Structure 1
């Protein structure tokens, strides 16, 4: 996921990319093998950055994800 140059949130995806799911674990970049969830409930406040700016695009691309929080 691209991060804004200000470092305070996610940036929009480049035109040649698409949302395919949400990573379900934290891994260092040296170990880029992760689980991807494409259906289920996502705690939108558990992300390292707010997803408010990209949530609409994610909901469109991944209609089987439901965004909730504690």
Structure 2
């Protein structure tokens, strides 16, 4: 896809620092953040996988 963090943040209408904290595993994202990111992906024609019951699946890894 080639998006930077800044690109995704702009598409999702969230701050880049919020997205960065989420990527670093600092706390859990709220439902609003996940919805905003999902909508940004869907606007770019990236859909969630039907096998996942249409849910956005996120894996948070420990450092």
* TM-score above 0.5, yes or no: no
TM, length-normalised to structure 2: 0.28
Higher percent of residues as strand: 1
